Structure 1
Amino acid sequence: MSTTDDINALIPLLDAIDATPGAAELRARSYELLAQEPGALVVDVGCGAGRAVTELADGDVRAVGIDLSEQMIAAARHRYPDGDFRLGTAYELPFQDGEVSGYRAEKVFHTLDEPARAVAEARRALAPGGRIVLIGQDWDTFVIESDDPHLTRTIVHARADLVASPRVARGYRNLLLDAGFEDVEVEVHTGLLAGPTAEAVVSGMAEAVASEGAISRAQADAWIADQRERARTDRAFLAVPLFVASATR
């Protein structure tokens, strides 16, 4: 599958996750923690299809979405033509030193090989007194309802091993402290998925680890079949711990 195909498949899954109970409330909490005045410049790093950028703009801040994927930026511009979306990376933000007042990154830092470098770049772009908010899942502690707990643990941990920084979210506090941020606080929320959305996520996990040889094809097929049956009967369940860290420059 090409990268474009991957992105095209990812967008509807992200949309489904964004529509789950608690997702809107978590985004709203992140905007509250940014604590920005009207007109302030806020960057949403790894903006994806742009939902958070338009919600921030609705709150009267100047929101800019940054993403390294041209396909994601194109999707965001198509959905929200009035939004400000730019190609860029967490390592090289298109802003001068101290130019932005708020920095937000949701489910991004686990994809980075050098999270500390991204935090340093965030600090560079933030003005003194600026706010940073990081949101992310801990890939090693996904909770999946299954009749085969041993295989499920294997899938969860093997899938985590395929992520660049699977446990970075539990380290947000130390990352921010080490970079010189102040007023560092961390909240823990729980993302809950059920039904077809949960099945799509966990089946994707099993497919990924089977492709890497961590489990056999037969094990993956049987486990996925069980998860699909659970989704069919509304018994699929996935809980994900989400860490929300905030701090002041």
Structure 2
Amino acid sequence: MKTRWSIFLSVLAVFAFGPLTAAPANAEAVTLSREQLLASLSRDVAGHFNLEGSLELDLIRAWAAPTRTARQWDVVVTDYPNTATSAMLLRCRLVADGEALPDITLMLRASLWRDVWSTREPLTIGATFDPALLETRRVDLFREREALPTAVGDRSYIFSRGVAAGHILTWRDISRRPLVRKGQVVDVSATEGMLVVTMKAVAMENGAQGDTVTVRNPDSRKDFAALVVDENRVQVRF
């Protein structure tokens, strides 16, 4: 039975140092598993190439685990391929409890899964991009490299060509909606410091917001470049 003094010391310890917990047991020394290896490589490869989506790697050849064991394994990629593709060759160094083992070369099969846009019904050229008319599909971007991710697309885009139903959209299927069209009269503002001059000009080409287009002064017939800033509005800076 605890004395009042021992109970007091226990309560004091809790308030001073927090709840008393047993120290964690030492980690067990194990060999490096195939799953641990692939998980580490997936993180490194995705980070190195700044990949968006879910990267899945698999070994093309059977995994021969190291004969030694360690409490902590680290996998260091020492040589990456130039680009991330569906088949990659990686040079790696395994580090067991801080001790580097001889480098190994791994042949990997890769998939990069991401949600992309797919058409629910036929779409016509020039139609405004409307997510409500589309559906999502999960694909491997290493196989469908031109597929349009769902992170891209709003009403500032139009369809640059007709698209059939059930089609996975690609970057070639859409373009920015032009705010300036060839042959239109546009408002031009030219700024230099606090001075602002406005005039009219004729657009010589289509342009979306942020594009640089050629416009023509209808009086002098001289062409100059201007930045598209809004509907039928361009800007020149000196």
Q: TM-score, normalised by structure 1?
A: 0.21
Higher RCO, 1 or 2 (CA under 8 Å, sep at least 6)?
A: 1
Identify the structure with the greater strand proportion. 2
Over alpha carbons, which structure has the higher Rg? 2
TM score, norm. by length of structure 2? 0.21
